[in-house]
Structures are given as C-alpha cells and as structure tokens.
Amino acid sequence: MNEKATQIRTEASRAAKLSSEAVEAMKAGNFNLSRTLIKDAVEAGRICQSLIKEKENQSSSKGENLKF
C-alpha cells in the first residue's frame, strides 16, 4: 500500500473516531465538546476526500485502478 492510501485510511479512521466521540459527548450533554469534535471530524473527512481525489487523478493519468 502506498503512502497516499495510508493517509486516506488514517484520515477516514480519524473522522469516524471523532464522530463517534462527538455522539458520546452529545449524549452526555457536553454540547461544546460535541461541536468541537464534529468540526474536527468534518475536517478529517474533507482531507480524506481531497486525498481520494488526488489519488483518482494520479491513477487516471497513469491508467491504473484505485486500490485503498
């Protein structure tokens, strides 16, 4: 697996973890923490999407299939 795929997996995992933590914080009534965690999860998701697009562009220019 190359570096870009590793970054994609890392950011996707980070987004999922932060999202879960935000839900738990909301259930506990800690809305400020929940909001902060959701913002961080959204940012991690955006980074992940950006990395995927970069990988797609690299792969299409080389004629490769995407593998994560």
Helix H, strand E, coil C: the string for 11-67 is: HHHHHHHHHHHHHHHHHCCCHHHHHHHHHHHHHHHHHHHHHHHHHHHHHHHHCCCCC
- The reported pLDDT for the residue numbered 66 is 59
Q: Domain map of the chain by residue range?
A: 3-61
CA 25/CA 35 separation, integer angstroms: 9
- The reported pLDDT for the residue numbered 50 is 96
pLDDT band, residue 60 (cuts 50/70/90): confident
Q: Any idea which residue has 């940012």 for tokens?
A: 43
pLDDT in tens, 27-54: 999 999 999 999 999 999 999 999 999 9
- Pair 4, 55: CB distance under 8 Å: yes
Between 60 and 57, whose confidence is greater?
Answer: 57
**pTM reported for the whole predicted model:** 0.81
